[in-house]
Amino acid sequence: MDQFSPTPPNANPADDPSSQRSASRDSLLLSARLRVEGEPEITVRVRNLSAGGLMAEYAQPVSIDTPVEVDVRGVGWVSGRIAWVAEGRVGVAFDREIDPMAARKPVGSGATTPRYAKTTEAAPRPTRPLFRR
For 72-96, what is each residue's pLDDT tens digit? 989 999 999 999 999 999 999 999 9
Residue 37 inside a domain? The answer is: yes
Kindly report the CATH number assigned to the domain that includes residue 91.
Answer: 2.40.10.220
How confident is the model at residue 125, as a pLDDT?
A: 65
Residues with Cβ < 8 Å from 62, sequence gap 6 or more?
Answer: 36, 82, 85, 90
Residue 116 inside a domain? The answer is: no
How confident is the model at residue 51, as a pLDDT?
A: 94
Residue 14 inside a domain? The answer is: no
- Residue numbers of the domain that contains 74: 21-104
Are the C-beta atoms of residues 3 and 30 closer than 8 Å to each other?
Answer: no
What's the whole-model pTM score? 0.63
Residue 49 inside a domain? The answer is: yes
Residues with Cβ < 8 Å from 104, sequence gap 6 or more?
Answer: 26, 28, 74
How confident is the model at residue 104, as a pLDDT?
A: 80
Q: What is the mean pLDDT of each run of 10 residues along the chain (133 residues)?
A: 44 48 64 92 94 95 96 94 96 95 71 60 64 69
Residue 4 inside a domain? The answer is: no
Residue 123 inside a domain? The answer is: no
Residue 62 inside a domain? The answer is: yes
Residues with Cβ < 8 Å from 37, sequence gap 6 or more?
Answer: 66, 67, 68
How confident is the model at residue 37, as a pLDDT?
A: 86
Q: How many domains does the chain have?
A: 1
